[in-house]
Amino acid sequence: MTERTVVENGTVPTLCRMCSNRCSIVVHIEDGNMVDVRPLAGNPVNHGKMCPRGRASLDVFYHKDRICKPLKRQTDGTFIEIGLEQALDEIAKKMLDVKGRWGARSMGVWKGEAIGFLQQEEYARRFAHAFGTPNYFSNDSACYNGRFLGHHLVTGFWNPFPYYAEADLILLFGTNPPVCHPPFMAEFADAKARGANLVVVDPRLNPVACYADIFAQPLPGTDGALAWGLIRYLVNAGGYDPTFVEQHSVGFEDVVEYAQKFTPDYVEKETGVFAHVVVDIAKLIIQNRPKISYYMGAGLEHHDNGVNNIRAMVVLSCLSGGLDIACGLGWPASMPRNELTLHDQLPLTAEKPIGADRFPVLYDIRKECHTMTAMDYMLGREEYPLKGLIVTAANPAVTNPNTGKVEEALKALDLLVVNDLFMTRTARLAHYVLPAASFLERSEIHIDPKYQRVFLTQKVVEDPGIKDEYMLWHDLAWRLGFGERYFPWDTENQVNAYILEPSGITLKDLEAHPEGIQYSPLKYQKHLSRPLPTPSGKLEFTSAYLEKLGYAALPEYVRPYHLRHPSDAYPLLLTTGARKTLYYHSRHQNLEHFRKLHPEAEVEMHPEDAAGLGVENGDQVRIISETGEVTVAASVLHKAELRRGVVEMYHGWEEWRINFTTFDLINDPISGFPLLKGVPVRIETVK
């Protein structure tokens, strides 16, 4: 690389993008080399602390395997280096070729999250629409959208993180905060120091559950039954505010009626959580309302019934008084800003966005196409073919379900362009691989809805041979003939200024405040003075919108796939996706010092399950599902750490891809989410 730091000696403040939490950091530079990364004080997100991932951003930047030059695949499958301008010329030509032969919608754009966030996403959406294709895909199809929809359908908004520190009771469902969201650990500890109660519901025991007053290990995918059991207890015991319910919600009578079958005994049979524990949790909720934080992790959305389970939990949260309070369902104010998406200017709904027929809510609310259905379009099994795809910083060949099919589909494309930092599994299948700019090489606006703060991530270093995320789309757009109209800005910083314009905050302000600027004061209980952003203006315990689309209006509990289709051939339940402290999805495995601590994939097993199969710790085992199989080492845990009958494996390994075993076409009917936590499997020892 021929990098240049923005200052020769000194420090540059920015935001970390080694995971999604966006902590404030300071990069130290000596003689043009980045030598250290330290936390920056003043940002409430990370309160002057950071985790080891932040420091490792330098190891990513200076990594010997960084892609620095565009690569073009030869007919024999090998790659050769070509010039950047040549690569973009050829890609643009091939895109026009696809458009000419099959129509613009046969091109797609797929955004990952290895290098940016909202702004990166909006570039990709803008580019796709300007090109004329509605087919925008993203990693959010398998993480985030399910919870977004589950909340949005009830309240009209989703603020992903409650302010735990103020809660008197914290309920965690399917999540491991120290690992998933390190910055919030301090809030937990603060709440605990004030004497808050903690309830953890998860088939897997994470260390945070050592502090739990109640730790329950349910069967995966049965959270909806638990939520309804708690709702039943609350409404029957009068543990809610009737005036609030009457003034601010629709469908309460239906909720009361539907909840009645979820007696504690029924819930026990369905979820495996003891009836008296269900009652104890309900009593804690009644005692502590309204100051309760409910947090649902990806553990709830990766199911074929996930959205309704989440909706039921949100209904419960609202009944216990959580609407628009700091530790509950905070309703974030948005910052006035210019959006980059062209959904309103250039609507493309008539172009049959992929998956919009199967999952109309996903497209309607998220304007996002369904990645799993897209594979069938790539394989020519659907109404029109998907022939070309530009993937930026995503790795579906690892993280999308049914890896065998994903690879087959990606290989069937006429044009696959991957923009990334490293030669990922997905990049290896590409026709062109472009060198991406890491977060240290970019500058974008970041908005944090929890604290209502806006930040500028500042460019620390640049390499003239590598285009930043904006310039990639810009240069392609100009070649394709819509640059002047839709990508008129010359630099990413000009885009930043455009986005900020309506806010009254300038780039200069943000440069002067690397810890961020609060764009509007935090105010709560706003529903008392204005309607909620739902179709009815009220909390939608029943959704007329969903009913019109043919779904049940109530968040009815549907038994998960494994209970509907019990199988002797696949007696264990595989959950995937429990996080590792140092890795982030499929990222960071190539950092040597991280790899030393997590050297290889393991499937976690309950000791009795392992003993029954004659498996000992460290043995190689085959995990086999209806879709495929993977061979990995077994890690036999303490009996409390995992529910018996459940096995768990990390989802991001490049070498051991557990998604060979997961299903792509067993989906949540509303979000289209894949079933990743409750896949029936069997385990066999390798002879």
Question: One-letter amino acid identity for 333?
Answer: A
Nearer of residues 179 and 255 to other proteins, judged by Cβ: 179
Tokens matching residue 661? 């075993």
**CA–CA gap between residue 278 and residue 268 (Å, rounded):** 8
Residue in 56, 62, 66 with CA at minimum distance from that of residue 36: 56
Nearer of residues 559 and 598 to other proteins, judged by Cβ: 598
Nearest distance, CB of residue 55 and other proteins, angstroms: 7
Nearer of residues 70 and 183 to other proteins, judged by Cβ: 183
Nearest distance, CB of residue 282 and other proteins, angstroms: 23
Residue in 165, 167, 147 with CA at minimum distance from that of residue 155: 147
Residues 6+ apart with CB under 8 A from 247: none
Residue 593, number of CB atoms within 10 A of its CB = 11
Alpha helices in 31-83 (DSSP H): 52-55, 57-61
Nearer of residues 23 and 418 to other proteins, judged by Cβ: 23
Nearer of residues 193 and 350 to other proteins, judged by Cβ: 193
Instruction: Decide if 463 contacts 2 (C-beta within 8 A).
Output: yes
Query: In the 8-state DSSP scheme, what is residue 458?
Result: P
Question: One-letter amino acid identity for 281?
Answer: I
- Give the dihedral sign, CA 8/11/12/16: positive
Q: Provide the 3-class DSSP secondary structure of residue 686.
A: coil
Nearer of residues 92 and 185 to other proteins, judged by Cβ: 185
Q: CA-CA distances (angstroms) from residue 617 to 259, 576, 603, 604, 623?
A: 43, 19, 10, 9, 15
Nearest distance, CB of residue 325 and other proteins, angstroms: 22
Instruction: Decide if 672 contacts 665 (C-beta within 8 A).
Output: no
Rg over alpha carbons for the chain, rounded to the nearest Å, is: 25
Nearest distance, CB of residue 578 and other proteins, angstroms: 14
Nearer of residues 181 and 302 to other proteins, judged by Cβ: 181
Residues 6+ apart with CB under 8 A from 260: 232
Q: Which residues bind other proteins (CB under 8 A)?
A: 38-39, 46-52, 55-56, 177-179, 182-183, 185-186, 188-190, 192-193, 205, 207-211, 215, 581-582, 593, 597, 638, 640-641
Q: Is 686 exposed, middle or buried, given 0-12, 13-18 or 19+ CB atoms closer than 10 A? A: exposed
Nearest distance, CB of residue 683 and other proteins, angstroms: 22
**CA–CA gap between residue 130 and residue 481 (Å, rounded):** 10
**If you write DSSP's letter for every residue of 260-328 in order, what string do you get?**
TT--HHHHHHHH---HHHHHHHHHHHHHHTTSEEEEE-HHHHSSTTHHHHHHHHHHHHHHTT-BT-TTS
Nearest distance, CB of residue 647 and other proteins, angstroms: 18
Nearest distance, CB of residue 27 and other proteins, angstroms: 15
Nearer of residues 49 and 526 to other proteins, judged by Cβ: 49
Instruction: Decide if 116 contacts 444 (C-beta within 8 A).
Output: yes
Bridge partners, 101 (sequence order):
none
Nearer of residues 183 and 321 to other proteins, judged by Cβ: 183
Nearest distance, CB of residue 216 and other proteins, angstroms: 14
Strands 461-462 and 629-636: unpaired
Nearest distance, CB of residue 40 and other proteins, angstroms: 11
**CA–CA gap between residue 28 and residue 608 (Å, rounded):** 51
Rounded to 5 degrees, what are φ and ψ at 674? -80, 155
Nearer of residues 50 and 510 to other proteins, judged by Cβ: 50
Strands 4-5 and 646-649: unpaired
Nearest distance, CB of residue 38 and other proteins, angstroms: 7
Give the chain's end-to-end CA distance (angstroms, integer): 47
Nearest distance, CB of residue 107 and other proteins, angstroms: 42
Nearest distance, CB of residue 451 and other proteins, angstroms: 16
Nearer of residues 51 and 316 to other proteins, judged by Cβ: 51
Q: CA-CA distances (angstroms) from residue 483 to 22, 24, 206, 281?
A: 31, 33, 49, 57
Rounded to 5 degrees, what are φ and ψ at 603? -105, 125
**CA–CA gap between residue 195 and residue 191 (Å, rounded):** 7
Nearer of residues 24 and 373 to other proteins, judged by Cβ: 24
The Cβ-side half-sphere exposure at 584, using a 13 Å CA radius, reads: 24
Q: Is 76 exposed, middle or buried, given 0-12, 13-18 or 19+ CB atoms closer than 10 A? A: exposed
Nearer of residues 177 and 560 to other proteins, judged by Cβ: 177
Nearest distance, CB of residue 380 and other proteins, angstroms: 47
Nearer of residues 537 and 607 to other proteins, judged by Cβ: 607
Nearer of residues 101 and 593 to other proteins, judged by Cβ: 593
Query: In the 8-state DSSP scheme, what is residue 449?
Result: T
Nearer of residues 148 and 188 to other proteins, judged by Cβ: 188
Nearest distance, CB of residue 592 and other proteins, angstroms: 9
Residue in 279, 250, 283, 280 with CA at minimum distance from that of residue 266: 279
Tokens matching residue 328? 């509950």
Question: One-letter amino acid identity for 682?
Answer: R
**CA–CA gap between residue 573 and residue 220 (Å, rounded):** 8
Nearest distance, CB of residue 285 and other proteins, angstroms: 22
Buried b vs exposed e over 635-648: b needs ≥16 C-beta within 10 Å? bbbeeebbbebbbb
Nearest distance, CB of residue 514 and other proteins, angstroms: 17
